[in-house]
Amino acid sequence: MKIVLTFCIGILTPCSFLLAQKQIQNPVLLQPTEKPYLISDNKSLLNEKIVSFYNNYNRLMKSYKGQTNAELPIKQKLDSIISIPTDSTLTPQKSAYKYNNNGQITSSAEYAWDHNTKTWFNVSKIEWSYNAKYFNTSFITYYGDSLKWYNELKYENIYDANNRLITVNGYGWNDSNNQWDLGSKIENSYNANGLLTVSITSIWNTTTSKWELYYKSENQYDNDDNLAVTIYYQWQQPKWNFLQRDSFDYYFSKQLNHYYYDVWDGSGDWGKYSQTEFIYNFFSDLLTVKEYLWDVISVIYVNSRKTDYKYDTGNNLTQAVFSKWVKQLQNFILEAKEDCTFDYNYLHADLVIPPNMKFSKSTRLVADNDIYFGHELTKQNLSLHNGAIYVANNSRTFYWSPISITKTADKESASEVDIVPNPARDHFTISNKASVPMDFQLMDITGKVLMAKKIYSSEMISTESLTKGMYLYRVLSNNKNLQSGKLVVN
| pLDDT per position as a tens digit, 379-421 | 999 999 999 999 999 999 999 999 887 654 443 344 668 888 8
Burial class (CB in 10 A: 0-12, 13-18, 19+), 270: middle
Residues 394 and 459 in one domain: no
Q: Is residue 392 part of a domain?
A: yes
In one-letter notation, the amino acid at residue 294 is W
| Residue 443, domain CATH | 2.60.40.3080
Confidence of residue 438 (pLDDT cuts 50, 70, 90): confident
Q: Where are the beta strands (DSSP E) in 100-195?
A: 105-114, 119-130, 136-144, 149-159, 165-174, 179-190
pLDDT for residue 311 is more than 80: yes
Mean pLDDT, the chain, rounded, equals 81
Query: pLDDT, tens digit, for every residue of 91-147?
Result: 999 999 999 988 889 999 999 999 999 999 999 999 999 998 889 999 999 999 999
* Better-predicted residue by pLDDT, 425 or 373: 425
Instruction: Report yes or no on whether pTM surpasses 0.85.
Output: no
Residues 237 and 90 in one domain: yes
pLDDT for residue 260 is more than 60: yes
Q: Is residue 173 part of a domain?
A: yes
Residues 252 and 202 in one domain: yes
Residue 197 confidence (pLDDT): 97
Q: Is residue 340 part of a domain?
A: yes
Final residue belonging to a domain, choices 404, 434, 457: 404
The alpha carbon of residue 372 and the mean position of all alpha carbons in its chain are separated, in whole angstroms, by 12
Q: What is the DSSP string of 28-54?
A: SS---SPPP-PPPTTS-HHHHHHHHHH
* Better-predicted residue by pLDDT, 404 or 85: 85
The alpha carbon of residue 482 and the mean position of all alpha carbons in its chain are separated, in whole angstroms, by 14
Residue 278 confidence (pLDDT): 92
Q: Is residue 457 part of a domain?
A: yes
Residues 202 and 106 in one domain: yes
Residues 26 and 96 in one domain: yes
Q: Is residue 118 part of a domain?
A: yes
Query: pLDDT, tens digit, for every residue of 264-284?
Result: 998 889 999 999 999 988 777
Strand 438-443 and strand 469-477: the pairing is antiparallel
Summarize the confidence of residues 29-40 as an average pLDDT.
32
Q: Residue ranges of the alpha helices (H) in 309-451?
A: 411-414
For residue 458, give its domain range.
415-489
Final residue belonging to a domain, choices 349, 376, 404: 404
Residues 157 and 44 in one domain: yes
Burial class (CB in 10 A: 0-12, 13-18, 19+), 303: middle
Domain count, the chain: 2
Residue 263 confidence (pLDDT): 97
Residue 296 confidence (pLDDT): 94
Interatomic CA distance for residues 164 and 135, integer angstroms? 10
Percent pLDDT > 70 in the chain is 77
Q: Is residue 464 part of a domain?
A: yes
Residues 112 and 248 in one domain: yes
pLDDT for residue 358 is more than 70: no
Final residue belonging to a domain, choices 404, 425, 456: 404
Confidence of residue 346 (pLDDT cuts 50, 70, 90): confident
Residues 219 and 346 in one domain: yes
pLDDT for residue 148 is more than 70: yes
Residue 372 confidence (pLDDT): 63
Residues 303 and 430 in one domain: no
Check if the beta carbon of residue 415 is closer than 8 Å to that of residue 439: no
Summarize the confidence of residues 353-363 as an average pLDDT.
57
Interatomic CA distance for residues 180 and 354, integer angstroms? 27
**Backbone angles phi and psi of 104, in degrees to 5:** -90, 140
Residues 448 and 382 in one domain: no
Residues 356 and 430 in one domain: no
Q: Is residue 409 part of a domain?
A: no
Q: Is residue 410 part of a domain?
A: no
Summarize the confidence of residues 343-372 as an average pLDDT.
61
Angle at 131 between CA 148 and CA 61, to 5 degrees: 65
pLDDT for residue 53 is more than 80: no
Residues 42 and 71 in one domain: yes
